[in-house]
């Protein structure tokens, strides 16, 4: 794990690394509001990306690096909507979905964005919006339970997500827009699934903050997934993980060998000791 120079800003857990790993998109609170900022990873220099006087949060890069999707309440203080903006600064912010809970991931072919919505009974479901054609929203995972944090597999044919249908958040994998079996990946709780770029390994965070790795193999002919045994890689020092959290506390390099994490910093608080002090009479 490495420290990015100049990265002491932003909400951290909702950051997103660009496809070429050169820039980090995150949100930063300035003067009572929040905007999306872009941080040059090598130079440690940040640039403001959105400027609307409301809250712009949860940025997600497109796979070609040309767009960033984010959620904003510019349509009303309690009404969040999904937008995208060109990373070269040209054009206007484009409204994609009027009511949602924030984007999760962008499909590898650039055709879909996974995002969350509030269900009828207050639960959370996962939807997808196509970026071509009529843009009719697609239900991806919708049950009486909370499903969040959907992540596309590198082939775009599967998604990983977390659900509390067992009584606690666990990681599952199922086909995307195709019939097939839903398979539970985690064994003792898990949140925030992330794929290795070749799709042969899936990472997630255990309740005790260990980062777990699970080997995965897909059978395209039978449309099934073969799951290995989760293995703990190391214990993290993340800056707080709610057990039903749908944010992003960490990112994975393309080869699965390096991890960018929102970690707690050690803060030294000075203490002044006064000796032989006597109160005034």
Task: Compute mean pLDDT per 10 residues along the chain, 281 residues long, and list them.
Answer: 47 78 87 86 88 89 95 81 92 89 93 89 89 90 92 94 94 90 92 91 92 87 79 82 68 80 59 56 55
pLDDT of 268 reads 45
pLDDT of 267 reads 44
pLDDT of 243 reads 56
pLDDT of 191 reads 93
pLDDT of 27 reads 85
CATH code for the part of the protein at 16-199+238-261: 2.120.10.30
pLDDT of 118 reads 85
Calpha distance 261→253 (Å, rounded): 11
Residue by residue, DSSP assigns the chain as --PPTT---S-STB-EE-TTSSEEEEEEEETTEEEEEEEETTT--EEE----SSBEEEEEE-TTSSEEEEEE-TT-TT--EEEEEETTS-S--EEEESS-S-EEEE-TTSSEEEEEEE-TTS-EEEEEEESSTT---EEEE--SS-EEEEEE-TTSSEEEEEE-TTSS-EEEEEESSS----EE--SS--EEEEE-TTSSEEEEE-TTSEEEEEEEEEETTTTEEEE---EEEEE--BS---TT--SB-EEE-TTSS-EEE-BPPP-PPP-----S-----
pLDDT of 84 reads 95
pLDDT of 7 reads 47
pLDDT of 242 reads 59
Token match 């999760």: residue? 104
Closest C-alpha to 159, from 116, 226, 123, 105 = 105
């Amino acid at each position: 794990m490495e420290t990015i120079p100049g990265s002491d800003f932003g909400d951290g857990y909702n950051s997103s690394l660009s496809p070429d790993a050169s820039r980090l998109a995150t949100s930063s609170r300035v003067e009572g509001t929040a905007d999306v900022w872009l941080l040059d990873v090598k130079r440690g220099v940040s640039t403001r990306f959105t400027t609307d006087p409301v809250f712009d949060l949860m940025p997600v890069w497109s796979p070609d690096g040309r767009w960033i999707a984010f959620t904003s309440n510019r349509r009303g203080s309690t009404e969040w909507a999904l937008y995208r903006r060109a990373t070269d600064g040209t054009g206007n912010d484009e409204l994609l979905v009027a009511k949602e809970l924030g984007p999760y991931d962008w499909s590898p072919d650039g055709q879909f964005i996974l995002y969350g919505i509030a269900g009828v009974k207050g639960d959370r479901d996962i939807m997808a919006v196509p970026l071509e054609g009529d843009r009719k929203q697609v239900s991806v995972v919708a049950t009486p339970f909370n499903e969040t944090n959907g992540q596309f597999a590198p082939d775009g044919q599967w998604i990983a997500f977390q659900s509390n249908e067992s009584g606690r958040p666990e990681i599952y994998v199922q086909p995307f827009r195709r019939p097939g079996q839903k398979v539970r990946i985690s064994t003792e709780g898990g949140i925030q699934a992330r794929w290795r770029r070749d799709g042969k390994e899936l990472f997630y965070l255990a309740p005790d903050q260990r980062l777990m790795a699970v080997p995965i193999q897909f059978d395209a002919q039978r449309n099934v997934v073969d799951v290995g045994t989760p293995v703990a890689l190391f214990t993290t020092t993340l800056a707080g993980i709610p057990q039903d959290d749908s944010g992003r506390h960490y990112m994975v390099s393309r080869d699965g060998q390096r991890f960018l994490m929102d970690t707690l910093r050690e803060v030294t608080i000075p203490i002044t000791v006064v000796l032989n002090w006597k109160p005034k009479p």
